[in-house]
Amino acid sequence: MSAEATNPEAHPEARPELRRRGRTRLDLRRLGRAALLGPTSRDRLPDAIGHVAEAHRAHHPDADLSVLRRAYLLAETSHRGQMRKSGEPYITHPLAVTLILAELGAETTTLTASLLHDTVEDTDVTLDQVGEEFGDEVRFIVDGVTKVEKIDYGAAAEPETFRKMLVATGNDVRVMSIKLADRLHNMRTLGVMRPEKQARIAKVTRDVLIPLAERLGVQALKTELEDLVFAILHPEEYERTRALIAAHAGERDPLPAIADSVRTVLREAGITAEVQVRPRHFVSVHRIARKRGELRGSDFGRILVLVGENADCYAVLGELHTCFTPVVSEFKDFIATPKFNLYQSLHTAVATPDGQVAEVIVRTRQMHRVAEAGVVALGNPYATVPAAPTACTTGTAPTAPPPSAKAAPTGSATGSTAGSVPAADASGGPAAADPYEERVDPTRPGWLSRLLDWQQSAPDPDTFWSVLRAELAQDREITVFRADGGTLGLPAGASCIDAAYAQHGEAAHGCIGARVNGRLTSLSSPLSDGDTVQLLLAQDASSGPAAEWLDHARTPAARIAISSWLEAHPDRAMAPTTAARAPLSVVGARGGGANAVADLPNAPVRLAGCCTPVPPDAVAGFVVRGGAVTVHRVHCAAVTQMRAVGRTSVAVHWRATADCRVTLLAESFGRPHLLADLTEAIAREGVEVVSATVEPPVEQRVRHSYTLQLPDAAGLPALMRAMRNVPGVYDVSRA
């Protein structure tokens, strides 16, 4: 956009895609002169957008270019007289942005909006005029990339602009595609700005735009943005990396010979494939150098194998691992398990007989297009209702359609259509037909839905800005299954707390525990990809999160919700920890061996507390200090220890009476009146409490130990069932 206009010759060495393609760099000054010549004849395109038309027709041979002509004429006349800081006519900027998108394969609507993306912000053109001339879709996209007024928002203008843009992206991913291309051209031409402003723009690009490009799968933009940011923020390391690449250029590169060997192997196997050597970009070389220290000749690039079908990818992999020595630790299958940004490929590394190691990427041509262009490669995702990513034939389509774009959160009021499609024109008249009505966006991933959810709870721009950067720093996503059969998309490292807020929203304040893969676990437990999680909520409406939850919450939605609740309940947030409290004990009359009789006259008999035997358990007795006999169940671990140390074994049997004493352990989640409810349940079964101990809560989990006198041992199963039925109790077992 206009605030970022600079020198077009800045960092030409940081554009590896131009070296790969051999494309001549555009002469923006010549294009600017052509733009100033004004409209050409009505039957042909203006010369200034000839490059755009050529690139667009390469991907869409049947595209109607007349709308591009009209968009260009409106943009050129609107920006006429405006100059970039480098002295070029301003129209060169939307032309360059549109060319970037055309080369990625963007469809006509995206290119139309791209040509017009600065008109509403920097000229007298209004959104209504854009809508009347080009339709509601173009109007919505242009509005999505238009900055909010700095005069209205002051220092919050940049965060609120990104909030508006992201909310609009929730309805139409093409908004962010244009923003990424816009930032790329501004980064290419950043040289005439003051160093401090270059650094500020580069940091925002690094923290927000590059992660967004990665998540949307637009690798072609992401890699060049990384190199340009690298050159600005780390000039010394950038120069060292550039020197490494320059030194390698004068040496013999082993990759072409390895690529020839791969071609021969695949040709002899009857596999039709295209084999390329792909040089690494600057940041990639820098990362490899930091990881390995001294670089090998094959570290400056990778071999790319393109085939026709998915099955051919695995056939290529088999031949490579048969004819070369595979490096097993380098193998990754992103076809069977695609990345969350649509990326699919097979990654491997092979060693040649002379000791060279080459990384190899295997993918179909369609996978390659998606890997380079991401969501841009999907064309117009709203062409049909319901939409399906027909361009993505590699198995990346979601298993279930995401929520309708119409239901996306609206966010704060940062623009006329920031978070919802135009409901009415600027004059307050009736709304135009909504082009987004009932649409299902196949390109909206889980991370974007989460972002749209939590941004509503972050009205403060500073909070939104800091949390957004933290959210985008999460570079991997996992999928966990809910107990009801649904799924949750969470960032790697997320805990049960994050899952609770993702599934239940503010109702998760009452979460008291979770079962992961059927086993009870603490809320702080991290989740892994493919886990099944069942979240347990308290019935007490006064329940709330503990301050310690913030130590284990990873998602912004969870952290914002917990912090808000703690701020609203300062007494609960400052409550002293319960770990220092002593166990609560209730003791009644104690008995001895109850109805156990040892075959040792006059010897006192005690029932072991470790296994609490009751009739009709098979038992064994052992003489201990003082001549007493302790009675254990025969399968108790203590029996083996007694025999190992040579304790005297004594035969034990049960009296004919049915009463018995037993110790039960009740595991529960903490809540008010739990001890009273458990004691009442025991009393209803006609059982006497000999003693009771309640341990201090740990992560809202409480352990109760009861020693009970039963009138009849046969009633033990019913007693344990009655205790388990008390709300909050999840397990009852014998000691």
pLDDT in tens, 48-73: 788 889 899 999 998 888 899 999 99
DSSP 206: I
Distance CA 206, CA 225 (A): 8
pLDDT bin (cut points 50, 70, 90) of residue 269 is very high
Lowest model confidence (mean pLDDT) among 57-61, 109-113, 383-387: 383-387
**Is residue 413 pLDDT above 60, yes or no?**
no
Cα 40 from Cα 76, distance rounded (Å): 12
**How far is Cα 390 from Cα 371, in angstroms, rounded to an integer?**
16
Among 49-63, 175-189, 331-345, 442-456, the range scoring the smallest mean pLDDT is 442-456
Question: Looking at residue 28, what is its pLDDT?
Answer: 43
The pLDDT value recorded for residue 305 is 95
pLDDT of 36: 41
**Residues shown for the chain:** 735
Q: What is the pLDDT of residue 684?
A: 85
How far is Cα 380 from Cα 629, in angstroms, rounded to an integer?
82
The CB density around residue 602, as the number of other CB atoms within 10 Å, is: 6
Which pairing describes strands 605-607 and 629-633: parallel, antiparallel, or unpaired?
Answer: parallel
Pair 478, 528: CB distance under 8 Å: yes
**Predicted confidence (pLDDT) per residue in 193-234, tens digit:** 889 999 999 999 998 889 888 888 889 999 999 999 999 999
Q: Is the pLDDT of residue 168 over 50?
A: yes
- d(CA 441, CA 229) in angstroms, rounded, equals 31
- The pLDDT of 88-102, averaged and rounded, is 91
Asked if pLDDT for residue 398 goes beyond 60, the answer is no
- pLDDT tens track for 273-330: 999 999 998 998 888 888 777 788 788 899 999 999 999 999 999 999 999 999 988 8
Does 13 score more than 70 pLDDT? no
Confidence band for 710, pLDDT divided at 50, 70 and 90: confident
pLDDT at 415 over 60: no
Residue linked to tokens 């600057």: 282
Please, where are the H alpha helices in 293-329? 310-323
Structural contact between residues 696 and 654, judged by C-beta atoms closer than 8 angstroms:
no
**Greater pLDDT, 343 or 658:** 343
C-alpha 175/C-alpha 110 separation (Å) is: 8
The whole-angstrom separation of Cα 171 and Cα 120 is: 20
Please give the backbone phi and psi of residue 275, each rounded to the nearest 5 degrees, phi first. -115, 125
CA–CA gap between residue 633 and residue 614 (Å, rounded)? 9
Q: Which pLDDT value is given to residue 594?
A: 57
- For residues 364 and 657, which has the higher predicted lDDT (pLDDT)? 364
3-state secondary structure of 404: strand
Q: What percent of the chain has pLDDT over 70?
A: 76
Average pLDDT estimate for 656-677: 76
Q: Could you give the CA distance from residue 279 to residue 291 in angstroms, rounded to a whole number?
A: 18
Higher pLDDT, 489 or 24: 489
Residues marked active site are found at: 121-122
**Average per-residue pLDDT for the chain:** 76
**Is the per-residue pLDDT at 7 higher than 60?**
no
Peptide bond just before 616 cis, omega within 30 deg:
yes
pLDDT in the model for residue 585: 44
Can the peptide bond before residue 727 be classed as cis, meaning omega within 30 degrees of 0? no
- Contacts for 516 with CB less than 8 Å, ≥ 6 apart: 496, 525, 527, 531, 532, 533, 534
Q: Are 134 and 71 in contact (CB under 8 A)?
A: yes
Residue 416 in this model has a pLDDT that exceeds 50:
no
Is the separation of the CB atoms in 509 and 497 below 8 Å? no
Condensed to tens digits (0 to 9), the pLDDT of residues 443-478 reads 455 667 667 766 766 667 777 777 777 777 766 777
> What is the DSSP-derived secondary structure letter of residue 352?
-
Please give the model's pTM, rounded to 2 decimal places. Answer: 0.64
C-alpha span between 351 and 482 (Å, rounded): 43
- The CA distance from 9 to 710, in Å, is 90
The per-residue pLDDT for 540 is 61
Residue reference for tokens 């320059």? 246
- Which stretch of 22-31, 219-228, 496-505 has the lowest confidence by average pLDDT? 22-31
pLDDT band at 151 (very low <50, low <70, confident <90, very high): low
Terminal C-alpha separation, the chain: 71
